[in-house]
């Protein structure tokens, strides 16, 4: 894949899956914007990695749940590069994947759901709204939203997180329908448990073993496993795909 001359905005990319996606784009020559909200040191390190791998990169702080901050970020990117060709909405509200610590259905408040909806859907909406004028102007673009295989198979019922990611799939399909006329594609990538990441660090061995036992490829994904499908959906190799969700979980979910 050749992403030379392409500008890629990846939200929440100072660590974990987002950082792996950034490095993968860098290997293919892209210009990558590392979005972060707290850890500037980590974001700067990812940007440096991307440059060392052959891409161009810089980091930019913006809380993607804040509409004004997103607009300012996108304006800055467009002033610097003149274009945003690819967006990966990877940021989400911090969530601990621990079967023992999760809230049960009768313990959840609406505010718990709302927090995750803001982190997943509201943030993606702000970013999409901000980049759409530039993409519509050039009649092309690719948006990839990172969701979860839990939306199809809640092997552990993380209610509020899974509900938010399910809503993001619905949002993406509607966006794909609306934006196809402008040459803009919208797809989702749905990983299963990804380890190691900060979100999965409390996942116990018995939970991992339970998931592995039900997974045809008999292992858990690492962050690099998610990057390939994202690059595929961003590339011309998938130019006639939109509104789709790719499950990246070793075959745990088969669609």
Which bin fits 218, alpha (ψ -120 to 50), beta or left (φ > 0)? left
Is the confidence at residue 130, as pLDDT, over 90?
A: yes
In this model, does residue 198 exceed pLDDT 80? no
**pLDDT score for 170:** 98
Bond prior to 196 in cis (omega within 30° of 0): yes
Q: Which of 53, 7, 16 is nearest to 36 (CA)?
A: 16
Give me the mean pLDDT over the 127-143 stretch: 98
Q: Is 165 helix (H, G, I), strand (E, B) or coil?
A: helix
Pick from 109, 106, 95: which is nearest to 203 by CA?
Answer: 95
Domains of the chain: 7-248 (3.40.50.720)
Specify the pLDDT at position 202. Answer: 64
For residues 118 and 65, give the distance between their C-alpha atoms in angstroms, rounded to a whole number.
7
Binned at pLDDT 50, 70 and 90, residue 205 comes out as confident
- If DSSP codes are grouped into helix, strand and coil, which group holds residue 188? strand
Question: Rounded mean pLDDT of the chain?
Answer: 95
Q: Which are the catalytic amino acids? A: 161
Residue 253 φ/ψ, nearest 5 degrees? -105, 125
The answer to whether the CB of 2 falls within 8 A of the CB of 25 is: no
Per-residue pLDDT at 167 exceeds 70: yes
Cα–Cα nearest to 58, from 46, 71, 67: 46
**Residue 22 burial (10 A CB sphere; 0-12, 13-18, 19+):** buried
Report the distance separating Cα 76 and Cα 74, nearest Å. 5
SS3 (DSSP) at 65: coil
């Amino acid at each position: 894949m050749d992403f030379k001359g392409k500008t890629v905005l990846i939200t929440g990319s100072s660590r974990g899956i987002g950082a792996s996606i950034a490095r993968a784009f860098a290997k293919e020559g892209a210009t990558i914007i590392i979005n972060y909200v707290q850890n500037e040191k980590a974001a700067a390190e990812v940007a440096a990695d991307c440059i060392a791998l052959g891409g161009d990169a810089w980091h930019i702080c913006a809380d993607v749940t804040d509409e004004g901050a997103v607009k300012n970020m996108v304006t800055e990117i467009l002033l610097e590069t003149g274009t945003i060709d690819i967006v990966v909405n990877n940021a989400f509200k911090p969530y601990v994947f621990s079967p023992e610590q999760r809230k049960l259905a009768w313990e959840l408040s609406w505010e718990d759901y709302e927090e995750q909806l803001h982190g997943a859907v509201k943030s993606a909406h702000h970013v999409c709204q901000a980049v759409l004028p530039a993409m519509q102007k050039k009649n092309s673009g690719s948006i990839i939203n990172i969701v979860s295989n839990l939306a199809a198979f809640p092997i552990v019922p993380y209610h509020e997180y899974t509900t938010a990611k399910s809503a993001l799939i619905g949002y993406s399909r509607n966006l794909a329908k609306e934006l196809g006329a402008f040459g803009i594609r919208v797809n989702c990538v749905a990983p299963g448990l990804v380890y190691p990441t900060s979100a999965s660090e409390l996942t116990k061995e018995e939970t991992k073993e339970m998931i592995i036992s039900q997974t045809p490829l008999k292992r858990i994904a690492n962050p690099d496993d998610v990057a390939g499908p994202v690059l595929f959906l961003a590339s011309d190799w998938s130019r006639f795909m939109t509104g789709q969700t790719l499950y990246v979980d070793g075959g745990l979910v088969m669609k």
